[in-house]
Amino acid sequence: MSKMEFTSNDPNPESRVPNPESRVPNPDPRFPELHPALDAHAAAIEASRCLYCFDAPCTAACPTHIDVPRFIKKISTGNLRGSALTILSSNVLGLSCARVCPVDVLCEGACVMVRENYKPIEIGRLQRFAMDRFYEDPRRGTPWRAPTPITHAEKVGCVGGGPASLACAAELRRRGYAVTVIDNRPLPGGLNTYGVAEYKLRPQDSLREVDMIRSLGVEFRQALVGEAVSLEEIEKEFALIFLGMGLGTMQRLGIPGESLHGVIDALRFIERYKTSPDFRVSGRVVVIGGGNTAIDAANASRRLGAEEVHLFYRRSEREMPAFKSEYDRSKVEGVRFHWLAQPMEIIGFGARAAAVRFVQTRLGAPDHSGRGAVIPVPGSHYEFACDMVIPAIGQARLTTLLENTRGIAVKNGLVVVDRPTGRTTNPRYFAGGDCVNGGREVVDAVADGKRAALAMAAQIEQ
Amino acid sequence: MADLTTNFAGIRCPNPFWLASGPPTNSGDQVMRAFDAGWGGAVWKTIGEPIVNTTSRYSSVDWNSQRMMGLNNIELISDRPIEVNLREITEVKKRYPKHAVIASLMVESQRETWQDIVKRTEDAGADGLELNFGCPHGMSERGMGSAVGQVPEYSCMITEWVKEAARTPVLVKLTPNVTDIRAVARAAKRGGADGLSAINTINSITGIDLDTLTPRPNVGGLSSHGGYCGPAVKPIALHLVQQIASDPEVGIPISGIGGIAEWREAAEFILLGCSSVQVCTAAMHYGYRIVEDMIDGLSHWMDEKDFATLDSFRGLSLPRVTEWKHLDLNHRIVARIHPEKCIGCDLCYIACWDGAHQCIHRDGFAKPEAAEAATRASIAVTPIAKLDSHAGPEGKTPPERIPHVDEDECVGCNLCWLVCPVPGSITMEKVETGRPFESWEERNRVIG
């Protein structure tokens, strides 16, 4: 049977989804992996470079505090299963984090080797090596610990199927709670399955992790909370509820022409090419936004066949929120950047987008975000012809319902929580991930989910 | 330019680098290629009645991704007929008259047998003889090799037989697999030996295959103990060489053997009194070409130190090895951490706490467990460069990760300095105690 076969100890056959390999295309040759895997010998040599620091800075820098020197030491001693379990005990999504984490600003950025003018230990690739071996192991089908017996009467529901919910669910399940993850998409995994660029993480990998979490005894259910399933029903079934629903769909630009053909928001664009092998792009593409998702969409457009890709950002290079490494890679891909440009209108030719009208901006005094306020320069409008427009300007925050009916405090569209516990202003609700932090990394979502799980268990057990 | 010419008990050669008896000196063709590469001499693979070997024969210990920190072998002496070996010795000496060819010998423990092989070998043109009383595996089960070298009386007796017949210098190769190597060294001297070779390989089992549960090397599902050599054995060899070199009852030249892979190790053996050095494992690992740097490096070092000849530094370190009871109890050093060089790995901190004397500290934490717990409890997030402020100046070690030494409590054991990965980040500094030299022996005498 294929590697992706779901385990037979699934406690709830109704929650099964079909073999994901039949739903998700195979790795796309247009998107070779950004950081190829290490082989066993290279991994052993790299592992042997690690100094095994005490109270290591890499561990402190990791939001989930993976004991990095410990898992690396285990690679160097050939204890690969032990290495993988060390990673998973801190971060149940160790496989996807190994691939998508911006390690240069996290563990590897904190590596003491950097201060000796040496190359930092390649922690990300070593973690990937340990996780790949774990998932290739024929014993993979057995969970890393047998499903913990359910020892608590209180059930927990996790709304949203992304990294925060998965981490929260896995942690609570291991502590003896019955946990159900409720997601509205056909496959769980959230942005790991649908929204991360292909050259970093393939849907298969995300689904392997989902499969493993399922094998711990976590139940998965497909439903749209707040519509198909009401909050009343959820509250009746579950003692505590974790909100890990992310940010939902992309925010709209709020300008004329957004519904023309040829306008597709960045997340839907990434989801589309990851799930449709025939998806092609041609001509001239305009990407609007300066974040990492904008960069992902711009790079993907190049790979998918666009002759020209132009990224427009309303502030300057200095304020762009994308990581420097992402920005640098994008320049290599041939993406062209336009600064201080705010979109005013998408102009159609018939029903199709044909150009974007921009106004030049200048930066004023710092606004609430600490960056210069964007001020349009009068009379500086210009049109930029294109075949496709990809807005990537942050994601909408669909928490109004909770705010209005459950007394959950929301600020700037984000759920307000107590950081160390994920506690919201409603004692039955906890929250974490993008819906709390506005859209950070997978590893931040995992850390939020884990912290919330500990606090939820403590609240029930007190 | 330093003069490396060597005279070992009358055996002359262009430099002190000899290939030790072993696989690299198995045949005339090999020895001639070695001389072309620059080796000053070669001790021929031990000649005797040809034997049959097993496969496999070697196993090794790797360390930290480096191959062959130590090598173990269960190979016996030469498997080629005596006359073939002798004919090739003649040929080599004809072509390389200035290089040293020393024949290693091992035959049954009978006077006639020994004297016969001595005569034939010298007739073939060997410059000297090395009696293999050291081989610790296989041959020892047949009453030869270390079976001789472990009994001083046998060693003395066979050396006497050989000396009755020999016209060239006779070296006795010593086994380290004894309680006190000096007893055999003295016996060889009594038997008339002109020099000593030390050390032969050390009894070993290198490891066990955790799938087959069979120790290595695996010979059809069984293994046997072998002889251990290579970089791992150098410290043991240096100590045993020092033991015999400083023994007044020995007093004959020593050819140093054991883990020598480069010129610095050769210099160390010579500083402890050796007149030549022998190399085997390193040549097996990298080939004869390694001798180029051995010659080159030793020459440059001698020039730098103003040592014109090998004799000018031979044995200079011997007087600096003494018994513990003569060491100064009032000598005091302490560790000092240099914050500007510290990279914050904190290996010194944990080493001192768990492995030494609990005198290196991190501010704010009474014990290491508390430091680690604080990390696990901290909340870290992925920084977004343009939105989040940076924790500290780029590339600087955070001050809380730079440990400091309580010099009053420091016992000067060196451990932190040894584990520190950054040269110069920890130094051991002398502290004036104001007290005069006093050894344990002296202190004991005063108390007594």
pLDDT, tens only, B282-318: 999 999 999 999 999 999 999 999 999 999 999 999 9
Of residues A148, A163, A122, A362, the one with CA closest to residue A247: A163
pLDDT digits (tens, 9 = 90+) for B322-336: 999 999 999 999 999
Q: What is the pLDDT of residue B386?
A: 52
ipTM score of the complex?
0.88
Angstroms from B297 CA to nearest CA on chain A: 27
Q: Note the CATH number of domain A155-248+396-461.
A: 3.50.50.60
pLDDT digits (tens, 9 = 90+) for A396-443: 545 667 887 888 987 766 899 999 999 999 999 999 999 998 788 999
Mean pLDDT to the nearest integer, A104-120: 90
Q: What is the pLDDT of residue A456?
A: 98
Mean pLDDT to the nearest integer, B238-267: 98
pLDDT digits (tens, 9 = 90+) for B397-441: 999 999 999 999 999 999 999 999 999 999 999 999 999 999 999
Mean pLDDT to the nearest integer, B3-9: 97
Q: What is the pLDDT of residue A29?
A: 67
Q: Note the CATH number of domain A31-141.
A: 1.10.1060.10
Q: Are strands B254-257 and B276-279 parallel, antiparallel or unpaired?
A: parallel
pLDDT digits (tens, 9 = 90+) for B31-68: 999 999 999 999 999 999 999 999 999 999 999 888 99
Q: What is the pLDDT of residue A254?
A: 76
Q: Please name each of the domains of chain B with its CATH number.
A: 6-320 (3.20.20.70), 325-447 (3.30.70.20)
Q: What is the pLDDT of residue A2?
A: 35
Rg, C-alpha atoms of chain A: 23
Choose the catalytic residue: B13, B135, B229, B359: B135
A-chain residues near B386 (CB < 8 A) = 318-321, 371
Identical fold, A31-141 and A155-248+396-461: no
A-chain residues near B371 (CB < 8 A) = 54-55
In CATH, what class is A266-391? alpha beta
- Residue A193 CB-half CA count within 13 A: 21
Q: Verify whether the Cβ–Cβ distance A45 to B65 is below 8 Å.
A: yes
| Confidence band of A249 (pLDDT split at 50, 70, 90) | low
Q: What is the pLDDT of residue A323?
A: 81
Angstroms from A307 CA to nearest CA on chain B: 30
To 10 degrees, what angle do helices A203-215 and A163-174 make? Answer: 20
pLDDT digits (tens, 9 = 90+) for B347-383: 999 999 999 999 999 988 989 999 999 988 999 998 8
B-chain residues near A108 (CB < 8 A) = none
Q: Which two tokens stand for residue A273?
A: 């090419």
Q: Which of A54, A323, A369 sits opposite B349 (nearest CB)?
A: A54
Q: Is B427 helix (H, G, I), strand (E, B) or coil?
A: strand
| Confidence band of A143 (pLDDT split at 50, 70, 90) | low
Above pLDDT 90, what percent of chain B?
92
Q: Which of A45, A63, A323 sits opposite B385 (nearest CB)?
A: A323
Q: What is the pLDDT of residue B387?
A: 53
Q: Which two tokens stand for residue A279?
A: 């998806």
Q: Which of A44, A114, A444 sits opposite B382 (nearest CB)?
A: A444
Say whether pLDDT at A278 is over 90.
no
Say whether pLDDT at A6 is over 50.
no
Q: What is the pLDDT of residue A439?
A: 82
Main-chain dihedrals φ then ψ at residue A312, nearest 5 degrees: -110, 135
Domain boundary assignment for chain A: 31-141, 155-248+396-461, 266-391
For residue B420, what is the nearest residue in chain A, using CA coordinates?
A: A51
* Residue B226 per-residue DSSP state: E
Angstroms from B342 CA to nearest CA on chain A: 9
CA-to-CA distance for A82 and A79, rounded, in angstroms?
5
Q: What is the pLDDT of residue A196?
A: 78
Q: What is the pLDDT of residue B146?
A: 93
Q: What is the pLDDT of residue A142?
A: 58
Q: Is B437 helix (H, G, I), strand (E, B) or coil?
A: coil
A-chain residues near B64 (CB < 8 A) = 48, 76
Contact B108, B150 (CB under 8 A): no
Say whether pLDDT at A28 is over 50.
yes
Q: Confirm whether B413 is a catalytic residue.
A: no
Of residues A304, A311, A297, the one with CA closest to residue A282: A304
Say whether pLDDT at A7 is over 70.
no
Stronger pLDDT, A29 or B185, i.e. the higher one: B185
**Helix (H) or strand (E) run with residue B416 in it:** helix B415-419
To 10 degrees, what angle do helices A68-76 and A123-136 make? Answer: 60
Q: What is the pLDDT of residue A20?
A: 40
Q: Are strands A178-183 and B170-173 parallel, antiparallel or unpaired?
A: unpaired
